[in-house]
Amino acid sequence: MATRKEEEVDLTQKVDLSVADILALITKIQADQATALTTAGEKNAEVLGNALEKLSPHYETPGEKANKEYLRGISRQVELDKIRNKKKTEYNCPHLLDNGRSQVGAFFGIKLLTGEVVGICCYCRKTISSLNPKHEKYWKKINGTVAECGQVSGLNDPIEAGLKRLVGDEQDRVRKNRAEFIRVETDKTGDFED
């Protein structure tokens, strides 16, 4: 390994420097110090930023939080509006088709494997069930033949078709409770609404 020889400088020698040379030297020293500080400051800022990021990887600025909350509010409002519009459409739908001679029901029936018969309005997509006593008034408006999903018995009475999936005393209990419900609701309102 080669060793470096230090140069010997004679400090007793007279040096001629002008004021301009001294000012240039001071300016150079200040520029070198500013560059060193800037470089060190940038490195420190980068290290600090990385450390903060590692400490809290899910950190959100207040602006980001406010934006997310605003977007959630808009999404919530859109979904509520969809539900309100669906309910309004169902409420205002007459559930009737005009076939030229008279009006018939707009519900198309589907018999499920469980024996329950459901009807779907072709206008508003309202779904009615044979097991819900509140929907009994709509069964008079079933349009066409009820589509079947595997079972063939009980097409004439959708309520009885739904009860066939129950056994023995359960059928009697449901019939009795249903009759009581219809009696109470009819006494209250004169007619029962959905």
* Structural domain range at position 27: 21-53
pLDDT-above-70 percentage for the chain: 76
Contact present, 18 and 26 (Cβ < 8 Å): no
Mean pLDDT of the chain: 76
Domain assignment present for residue 118? The answer is yes
The larger pLDDT score, comparing residue 100 to residue 91, is at: 91
Q: Take residue 84 and report the two structure tokens written for it.
A: 């309100």
Task: Supply the DSSP string of 8-48, one letter for each residue.
Answer: P--TTS-----HHHHHHHHHHHHHHHHHHHHHHHHHHHHHH
The larger pLDDT score, comparing residue 61 to residue 173, is at: 173
**Ranges 53-57, 167-171, 175-179, most confident:** 175-179
Rounded mean pLDDT, 12-38: 73
| Structure confidence at residue 80 (pLDDT) | 93
Identify whether residues 139 and 178 lie together within a single domain: yes
Task: Inform me whether the pLDDT recorded for 43 exceeds 70.
Answer: yes
Q: Mark which of 74, 92, 110 sits at the end of a domain.
A: 92
Identify whether residues 37 and 100 lie together within a single domain: no
Count structural domains, the chain. Answer: 3
Domain assignment present for residue 43? The answer is yes
Rounded mean pLDDT, 41-64: 73
| Structure confidence at residue 194 (pLDDT) | 45
| Structure confidence at residue 74 (pLDDT) | 95
The larger pLDDT score, comparing residue 130 to residue 20, is at: 130
